[in-house]
Structure 1
Amino acid sequence: MHSLRPIHNRLRRLLGLGRAEFFDTAVDRWEICPADEVEIAPGIWLPDQVEHIARTEFGGLPDILAQMQGDPAERTPPTMGYRFRDVDFVDGVLHARGAERHLRQRRHSGPTYPRPRDSLSGALYESWIGNRWFGNWLLNDCLAYRLAEAAGAPVTSAPARGGHIARYETLLGMAPRRIGEVHFDELILFDDLHNNSHRRARAQENRARILKDRALKPLPGVFIFRGASGDARILENEAEIAERLEVEYGFRTLYVDRHDADQMAEAAGAARLVVGVEGSQLAHGVIAMPAGGTLLTLQPADRVTTSLKLLTDCWQQRYAMVVGSGTAGGYRVEWDQIRRTLDLIAAAEP
């Protein structure tokens, strides 16, 4: 039997009715954490850095400036739970009556789809950005897992994987049911992207799980080497910067292709500074570095973003950046800029 939901949704758009908001189809909703006020620390950067920005990513320049300004009493929306009935999950897309929610890029397209044979109920904690980027999975989706766990039946469409991801799932006590294409008799989703006090508390819980029973030896800082991993952001003098941080500041360099999750946690968990090219590999540092530590990102001029600041805000860390010269395909960050930014970071410490 085939479902006509894609045709129904397409007809709505053709008739000018628009696509229904997925969360509007919920049969029940509840507040997990009310709206509250939290302190957002200002970002740290040299006074001339704005002049180096050629292009921004995931938001315009006003968004970057607002994030770097911080807010001593930012009003954060509530964390919400939503209950749905009669939902199909097919080809990475949740289909409800008149609404769709994409969790993965579709592999197929068509006016109908076969109804899934399997039916179940569960709480889904994954997101589009978490399925796309490792850092968002570790620092966003793994926080939402704690909500799904409390709801009783965590499920995910992500297959079992090895490496860092498998180890983090073990350290965080994550044991979801892994699903293919299914029909949900009942589905629970969460609106959990706001850094309110409840989300911040879950971040500290996940850090405590990562660092449990580890004998940490204090480090001045760690440099997490990106190299050619992930989406291209080629820092041409990355090796030179890592070496100077080791020699002049006593840093330790970590490599995502050489060090496992435990080694990353033991180093970053003992550090007050995590430095590296802006990207998902820095999530290894954010999840383990203590509250009050600082993440320093080195960014190409044509791809400046404060995406990671939204995450350090949740982990109650500070955020700093240096904008280099060149493009994501090849750029440089001068040592003097880094040295002076490290001075600003030291001056801002309580």
Structure 2
Amino acid sequence: MLRPFIRPAMHGVSRLMGAKSQDVLTRAVERWEIAPASMVHVRPALALSGQMERIRGSEFGSIEEVLRDFRGGFDSQQAPTFGYRLSNVLLMDGILHSGSTARHLRPGAGRRPLGLAPREACRAAMYESWVGNRWFGNWLSDDCLTYRLAENAGVPMATMVPKGHRPSYERRLAITPVRTRATLFDELILFDDRSHNAHKRARADDMRRRLAGSEPRRHPGVFLLRGATGEKRVLRNERAIADHLAARHGFTVLDPTTAALDKIVAACGGASVVAGVEGSHLVHGLVMMPPDARALVIQPPSRAVAVLKLLTDRQQQDYSLVVGMGGDDDAFHADIDEINRTLDLA
């Protein structure tokens, strides 16, 4: 039976008036620890002398924070993984509502102030996140791991219709949520799965086996082309670098935006090095490369990002970097000789 709801409209009015709503987790009636805290050793990035001094801008953290993660050499405490049980939660147009609290699940949510929603009597479990619905890399590296918690806690639910490579990954990973745009949940399970603790590492190991198998064919490496996709980070000599790595080091060169998942798995599953310009497209390789493989990330000098290093540190894999030079905020170039010498740092 469909029921009308005005909570989304009330939330919208509150936001227009400048009020900040609390997250729905503050309304949880039960919280429990799924996995304990653990330590992750943050490895020093493999880089030539003088590379990090080129960084003049950063994203998703200050320059100091990015440099700290690149320089590494310390242990980082990772929080436990928690589950939360909530009652009487309304999902409407990409936003979860519980009382006066709310959680946005995707960009552009909340454009419909009123709506109808059926009541769902089952024990539902939501695994998707705003960042996962915004960036493919976060969906693959985080939301797909949280799904393994959701399938054990209730009926997995999602709001976004999968596009691009997501349907192929869902089939390969046996991700089969119930998709809904509007529902009143009698009982909803949510998770705090942001930390990179040992339990999440084990789920990432399981994902790698599901994607690449237990004994993928090994080869020197893969260069994943970025081109002009995503946020603008144009490596002007990207193609020349890719062709050089193929000719000199035996790398496979792949454009993941046009390749089918089977081809991505064949290129990345056994690669000793996953290389490319910093960006979500590299996550294709990072989630399935062998345990002893490493990343080689070409960083734009004005937009350095350490997010992908969190994944390699969690899996205790090496992370190499080359920082580009020159150009403006949207385009730069990298030195091929520096890339060769960085490969030799293993």
Q: TM-score scaled by structure 1?
A: 0.90
Contact in 2 for aligned 1:102/1:128 (Cα 8 Å): yes
SS at match of 1:82: strand
Q: Kindly tell me: are residues 328 and 181 of structure 1, through their superposed partners in 2, closer, same or farther at Cα, counting changes over 3 Å?
A: farther
Contact 1:301 1:327 in 2 (8 A): no
How many percent identity over aligned positions?
42
CA distance in structure 2 between the partners assigned to 1:205 and 1:287 by the alignment: 10
Q: 2:106 is paired with a residue of what secondary structure?
A: coil
Partner of 2:184: 183
Query: Which residue of the partner structure matches residue 6 of structure 2?
Result: 3
Once the two structures are superposed, the pairs formed by residues 24-39 of structure 1 within 5 Å of their partners are 24-39=26-41
Counterpart in the other structure of 1:259: 259
Q: CA deviation at 1:115?
A: 4.4
SS in 2 for 1:43: coil
**Residue of structure 2 in register with 1:87 after alignment:** 89
Distance 1:259 1:109, change over 3 A: closer
CA distance in 2, matches of 1:293, 1:73: 21
Distance verdict in 2 for CA 1:180–1:7, change over 3 Å: closer
**Please, which runs of 5 or more residues in structure 2 have no aligned partner?**
none
1:76 deviation in Å? 1.0
How many residues of Structure 1 are paired with residues of Structure 2 in the alignment? 341
5 Å-filtered alignment, 1:281-320, equals 281-320=281-320
2:105 is the counterpart of 1:103: yes
Question: For 1:254 and 1:11, how far apart are their aligned partners in 2?
Answer: 48
State the alpha-carbon separation in 2 of the partners of residues 38 and 307 from structure 1.
15
Shift of 1:101: 0.8
Can you list the C-alpha shifts for 1:151-205, whole angstroms capped at 9, x where unaligned?
A: 13111112143x5211111111111111111111111111111111100000000
Contact 1:200 1:316 in 2 (8 A): no
Task: Work out whether residues 40 and 314 of structure 2, in 8 Å CA contact, stay in contact via their aligned partners in 1.
Answer: no
Change (3 A) 1:250 1:93: same
Q: Unpaired runs of 5+ in structure 1? A: none
Is structure 2 residue 125 aligned with structure 1 residue 123? yes
Q: Which residue of 2 is the match for residue 145 of structure 1? A: 147
User: Is the contact made by 2:8 and 2:92 (CA closer than 8 Å) also made in structure 1?
Assistant: no
The reply to whether residue 200 of structure 1 matches residue 212 of structure 2 is: no
Per-residue CA deviations over 1:135-162 (Å, capped at 9, x if unaligned) read 111111000010001113111112143x
State whether residues 92 and 110 of structure 2, in contact with CA within 8 Å, keep that contact through their aligned partners in structure 1: no
Q: Map residues 46-85 of structure 1 onto 2, 5 A cutoff.
A: 46-85=48-87
Q: Aligned in 2, Cα 1:100/1:71: closer, same or farther, shift over 3 Å?
A: farther
1:14 offset after TM fit, Å? 6.3
Q: What are the superposed Cα offsets for residues 278-306 of structure 1, whole Å, 9 maximum, x if unpaired?
A: 11111110111012311111121111110
Residue 125 of structure 1 contacts residue 189 of structure 1 at CA under 8 Å; is this kept in 2? yes
Q: Deviations over 1:260-295 (max 9, x none)?
A: 112211221211111001111111101110123111
Q: Pairwise CA RMSD of aligned residues?
A: 2.2
Q: Using a 3 Å threshold, how does the CA distance of structure 1 residues 160 and 4 change in structure 2: closer, same or farther?
A: closer
1:228-267 to 2 correspondence within 5 Å?
228-267=228-267
More moved, 315-324 vs 132-141: 315-324
Are the aligned partners of 1:5 and 1:98 in contact in 2 as well (CA < 8 Å)?
no
- The residue identity in structure 2 corresponding to 1:3 is I
CA distance in 2, matches of 1:224, 1:130: 21
Cα offset for 1:50?
2.5
Name 2:43's counterpart in structure 1: 41
Change in Cα spacing, 1:132 to 1:160, as seen in structure 2 (3 Å) is closer
SS in 2 for 1:207: helix
**How much does 1:96 deviate?**
1.1
Quick one: structure 1 residues 196 and 71, their matched pair in 2 at CA, closer, same or farther if it must change by over 3 Å? farther
**Is the partner of 1:242 in helix, strand or coil?**
helix
Query: How far does residue 8 in structure 1 lie from its aligned partner after superposition?
Result: 6.2
- Matched residue SS, 2:190: strand
Q: How does the TM-score come out when normalised to structure 2? A: 0.91
